[in-house]
Amino acid sequence: MSILEDFENFLTNNIPQASSFHPNYNKAFAKMILAGGKRFRPRLLLSVVEALEPRLVKNSFSVALAVELLHTYSLIHDDLPAMDNADLRRGNTTLHVEYDDATAILVGDGLNTHAFYLLANSPFDSNTIVKLVNSLSFNGGISGMVLGQAIDCFFENTKLDIEKLKFLHNRKTGFLIASSLEMGAIISQADSEIEKNIYEFGLKLGLLFQVEDDIIDVTKSSKDAGKTTNNDKFKNSFVNLLGLEEALKYKKVLLDELRDEAKEKFPTRLGESLLLIINSYF
């Protein structure tokens, strides 16, 4: 059984639950998590641990789940009427459509908070836990993902230049991807140079991920993508700024750079693991 299959089993058995008489509360928590998704961020974290300290992989599942919960909360809130107003995510009806806005907001709030509960109770020493909390809270918080989302919403219908576009998407997408890799390095007790390089690698990987996402928005149907597409017409996307052809070229540039860096900047096993993820996803 692969690490991702083991992780998926762990995730299924550790969906946040609470005892109450609310008719939909637990179902709403389970719905979007069990809907699947790429598990891209947990895969990054677990792949780093497997490459650097394989004995700690299973101990890392709760940390990988924390990252997935934080990411899922961001998707739930991103789909709300006040933001992207999307009705499809991971091939399923979004929570505000299935239930109501309040349920979607509260489930997102709960997943955000529960992510840090999982980190606090993860099976690592206190110094490692503090570093993990620091990474996820910084990159997912007011200077990272939340800032990116705020810029994305505020500057809708306002064209940003390429540097501001990169700033936006580094934070909205790249910071959490970089944090996933960094947290794998933290668990593995990697040296400071690897930790720094893998974070920077993650930022570039985040840009590639976003360029790919922008391309999917204009080239795939909602059914094929599993989420609402053709939804970025008034957004600051790489396709809207550069055009589809130039966005495809930029994707190739980032992909080539990442492949070179994976070979040159990391120990062999870690570099091979990163290459495998890049090649299988992109």
Query: Mean pLDDT throughout 26-53?
Result: 95
How many structural domains comprise the chain?
1
pLDDT interval class at 11 (50, 70, 90): very high
Exposed/middle/buried for residue 202 (C-beta within 10 Å: 0-12, 13-18, 19+): buried
CA gap 187, 175 in Å, rounded: 18
- Greater model confidence, 194 or 32: 194
Interacting residues of 179 by C-beta distance below 8 A, sequence separation 6+: 67, 135, 136, 138, 139, 140, 144, 199, 202
Give ∠ CA 114-117-118 in degrees, rounded to 5: 90
pLDDT interval class at 36 (50, 70, 90): confident
pLDDT interval class at 51 (50, 70, 90): very high
Q: Whole domain around residue 96: which residue ranges?
A: 3-281
Q: Lowest mean pLDDT of 37-46, 137-146, 233-242, name the range.
A: 233-242
Would you say residue 260 has pLDDT above 80? Answer: yes
Mean pLDDT of the chain: 95
33-43 burial string, b = 16+ CB within 10 Å, else e?
Answer: bebebebbbbb
| Amino acid identity at 230 | N
CA gap 259, 266 in Å, rounded: 11
Would you say residue 225 has pLDDT above 80? Answer: no
User: What are 111-167's pLDDT values in tens digits?
Assistant: 999 999 999 999 999 999 999 999 999 999 999 999 999 999 999 999 999 999 999
Label residue 189 left, alpha or beta by phi (over 0 means left) and psi (-120 to 50 means alpha): left
Q: What pLDDT score does 56 carry? A: 98
For the chain, give the percent of residues with pLDDT over 90. 89
Would you say residue 234 has pLDDT above 90? Answer: no
Domain harbouring 211, CATH code: 1.10.600.10
Q: What pLDDT score does 23 carry? A: 95
pLDDT interval class at 1 (50, 70, 90): low
Q: What pLDDT score does 256 carry? A: 97
Place of tokens 């970025």: 232
3-state secondary structure 100-132: CHHHHHHHHHHHHHHHHHHHHCCCCCHHHHHHH
Which tokens go with 249? 């070229």
- Residues 173, 35 contacting (CB under 8 angstroms): no
- Residues 103, 39 contacting (CB under 8 angstroms): no
Q: What pLDDT score does 146 carry? A: 98
Query: Mean pLDDT throughout 168-191?
Result: 98
User: What are 56-107's pLDDT values in tens digits?
Assistant: 999 999 999 999 999 999 999 999 999 999 999 998 999 999 999 999 999 9
Would you say residue 229 has pLDDT above 90? Answer: no
Q: Report how far apart, in Å, the C-alpha atoms of 267 and of each of 49, 108, 190, 191, 274 are.
A: 13, 37, 11, 12, 11
Would you say residue 44 has pLDDT above 70? Answer: yes
Query: Mean pLDDT throughout 230-255?
Result: 91
Which of 209, 216, 204, 211 minimizes the C-alpha distance to 247? 211
